[in-house]
A and B are shown apart, each in its own frame.
Chain A
Amino acid sequence: MEIFYEFLNTTGFAMMTWGNAIMILVGITFVSLAIMKDYEPLLLLPIGFGAIVGNIPSIQGMALNVYDEGSVLSYLYFGVSKGILPPIIFLGIGAMTDFSTMLSNPKLVLLGAAAQVGIFLTLIGALYMGFNPSEAGAIGIIGGADGPTAIFLASKLAPHLLGSIAIAAYSYMALVPVIQPPIMKLLTTKKERLIRMKAPRHVSQREKIIFPIAAFLVASLIAPGALVLIGMLFLGNLLKESCVTERLANTARNAMIDIVTIFLGFSVGASTQAQTFLTPQSLLIFGLGALSFAIATAGGILFAKLMNLFIREKINPLIGAAGVSAVPDSARVVQIVGQKEDPHNFLLMHAMAPNVAGVIGSAICAGILWSVLVK
């Protein structure tokens, strides 16, 4: 009987805290949002289930959770905590991305730079609240709206905030269709939302092959800290565009990215144990993350409006909102908001240009912050 009582004391029910229960509910909410609302299901589902797994109380002395040395979960989490998995995701993204629209209208690249203002203003906000510079940099990168980049930088600058930053980044990416439209409508007039843009020109295969090599050289020579992310992104794209490594490109954009997404999502979720996650700090990070997304969206739109003052062929300022990477969700949001005004206006292909430029921009920002803030 004594053994039975001892066993009962080691069950999850006996050791469950209110914090664990809340986090399990958060995990269930994520899974429900993924399944019922289709909000970033590829990420929210593994993250949500990971949060449930990570909040089952473990027995003292048994290596079970991600923070226990030698546990299975700690090995899965290793790829996250050391920043290994994000570059592999970038390889897959590169192998999926078609830079044609960006190559056909190079001025739209600048929108991808303008939207990065969210990162730096949030960094200032985080410093103002009392976070140290490294933590502030890691929090600011949430404004890049790029999950892998946020995880990569957080693992380098503020590993103790990794769980909160990753969850905030992916949650807001899932909420792009909710956060962006009100800001887009607030900052544009009906006339601006009705602007139609010229169809993109045909881009030759040679341009598509030369671009990843040249853009890598420019970006990594300017910000060497972005070398790993940018390098993998453009390697993936070169595999795709070269037309001689179709098998590798296929693997990178299908099987490989899927496997890595499962491990990354699950282990990030499992790292959100109530004891380390449910802190006032996490709440501040969530608040700053939302602010960061809003500023980044506004930055892109306002810069598009500014560009319209100087260029002859006007651009629809809505596409500036796609500068916040979040590929391809923010481009899709631009298309939806644009079509509400004019059902025959197709902005998706135009929005993809600042969207992919935003991916490059946020990776460069991560490189800059890492170079400047590394101790």
Chain B
Amino acid sequence: MRDLSPTTDKDAASLAMENELLRYETLHLRARLAGVERRLVAANQELRRVSAAPAPGRATAVAAPGPAAAPQVDRSRNDLVWLLRRLDGSAGRWVVRRFSGFRDLKARYLEETP
């Protein structure tokens, strides 16, 4: 295989000139990329600001839970159903059934849940 390492001063000088050329070009491209990234960040911030601002003349609606909150809601519902069944099957069921709040929760969750 041919030896690619510089063997003369002229080779080294040529490589140094090429190195400087590529270094300048790289620095220029990095600066340009940084400028594009700064404009992108500014554009995203402006987009979020415009999206968050309420539309004029329209009442602010209560935000519904997003898709990210759905697993937590399901888990809380299952815990509540489990707790109601435990209370309704316990020895003190005759006492708690006297409370209207327990009867409402039992009607709302146990009778709707299969």
Binding partners A and B: no
B residues near A, CB below 8 A? none
